[in-house]
């Protein structure tokens, strides 16, 4: 095997190992922050307790864009922006869903606290967003009327 081929093979092995390590690290990080109890909670207050939320401060600095009327609860687009400085995480909850905690996002290294996602809604309910900043939690809600159950 020529020197050039050997160098190329060694380079590819190094890249493959680096990618494998890089892919394993996020999985370990996600496993550490996955809050199974919060996602399995059947009531809104139970989910909030599992997220360690004691007191919520209602804030208009959390923008929630969602339809007033969703014809099909299986696909409800939600756009959330936190204008609260130093936002660390955001959680989306739907009170009348079988399991209220829909999603929990963590923002690091100055990432913009902005989310666009599609959620399922079982019935008409408030979409509640919780924002964590330090030891404080802020919230805002948006009511969505659902015509057809999306969680069935």
Sequence spans of domains, the chain: 1-33, 36-146
pLDDT of residue 148: 84
- Going by pLDDT thresholds of 50, 70 and 90, the confidence category of residue 39 is confident
Dihedral, 23, 34, 60, 87 alpha carbons, nearest 10: -50
Nearest to 138 by CA among 76, 75, 83: 83
pTM: 0.76
- CATH architecture label of 36-146: Sandwich (2.60)
- Going by pLDDT thresholds of 50, 70 and 90, the confidence category of residue 132 is very high
pLDDT exceeds 90 at position 57: yes
- Going by pLDDT thresholds of 50, 70 and 90, the confidence category of residue 16 is low
Instruction: Tell me the mean pLDDT in the region 94-120.
Output: 93
What's the CA gap between 88 and 108, in Å, rounded?
7
CB-CB contact of 131 with 59 (8 Å): yes
- Going by pLDDT thresholds of 50, 70 and 90, the confidence category of residue 13 is low
Spacing of C-alpha 1 from chain mean position: 50
């Amino acid at each position: 095997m020529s020197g050039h081929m050997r160098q190329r093979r060694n380079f590819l092995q190094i890249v493959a190992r680096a990618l494998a390590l890089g892919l394993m690290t996020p999985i370990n990080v996600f496993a550490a922050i996955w809050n199974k109890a919060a996602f399995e909670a059947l009531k809104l207050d139970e989910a909030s307790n599992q997220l360690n939320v004691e007191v919520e401060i209602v804030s208009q600095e959390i923008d929630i864009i969602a339809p007033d009327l969703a014809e099909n609860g299986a696909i409800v687009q939600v756009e959330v922006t936190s204008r609260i400085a130093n936002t660390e995480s955001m959680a989306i909850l739907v009170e009348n869903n079988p399991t209220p905690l829909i999603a929990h996002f963590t923002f690091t290294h100055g990432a913009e606290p902005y989310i666009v996602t599609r959620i399922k809604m079982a019935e008409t309910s408030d979409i509640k967003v919780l924002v964590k900043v330090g030891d404080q939690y802020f919230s805002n809600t948006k009511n969505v009327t659902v015509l057809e159950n999306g969680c069935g």
